[in-house]
Structure 1
Amino acid sequence: MENLPSSSQLIIDQLLMRWLPDASVRFQYLYPELELNIDGNIVRFTGTNAGDPRVKQEFQFCLYRQKIFEQTLPMREMLIEGVTGVAGRTS
């Protein structure tokens, strides 16, 4: 039996919309075989195995990972500056 294209969709909470563009870029890099279509707060997945529940799980992981990365970036920068004594390093 061959793998036929399938589709599924995920509704993104409004509180997470800020991180949707960056998360979708990362997801597309990790899963190039799936087509991603974003319409407002609805993300549609199309392609082989797009109906697999793990696809939604992986996309949500990318979304939360981006949120955590952005929210903790200032704290990580301050920690590095405190340890190295170098502020605002560009290289």
Structure 2
Amino acid sequence: MSPKTLANISVSPEFHEFIPAAIMRLKYIFPDIAIETTENGIKLTGTNEIDELRLEREVIYHIYREKIFQQTLPMRRDLYQMLAM
């Protein structure tokens, strides 16, 4: 069975910097699906039948999760430094 496009997910440009880290997590969750960046977001290909809505929800969730992680990292570092003193 040859791979086919399972989903093309558009991602707002303001979230593009978080896509690579999200892809790393998604590859762990969906090892049988090829995940790559596109000009407008993410393309998922594979041979398995999977719910496109579920894929889209997972992709958006992991991108937003990475955004929150990166934005709160300085605050967490400062907090850990204060606790270590």
Corresponding residue number in structure 2 for 1:43? 42
Distance 1:46 1:78 in 2: 41
Distance 2:37 2:4 in 1: 18
Bigger helix share: 2
Instruction: Give the CA RMSD over aligned residues.
Output: 1.8
Mapped contact 2:34–2:45 kept (Cα < 8 A): yes
Q: Unmatched 5+ residue regions in structure 2?
A: none
Give the ranges of 4+ consecutive aligned residues of structure 1 lying more than 3 Å apart after TM superposition.
Answer: none
TM-score by length of 2: 0.84
State whether structure 2 residue 82 is matched by structure 1 residue 82.
Answer: yes
Corresponding residue number in structure 2 for 1:72? 72
Counterparts in 2 of 1:77 and 1:21: CA distance versus 1, 3 Å: same
Shift of 1:37: 2.5
Instruction: Give the number of the structure whose alpha-carbon radius of gyration is greater.
Output: 1
Mapped contact 1:7–1:50 kept (Cα < 8 A): yes
Q: Unmatched 5+ residue regions in structure 1?
A: 86-91
Q: List aligned pairs for 1:4-23, cutoff 5 A.
A: 7-23=6-22
Corresponding residue number in structure 2 for 1:63? 63
Shift of 1:6: 5.5
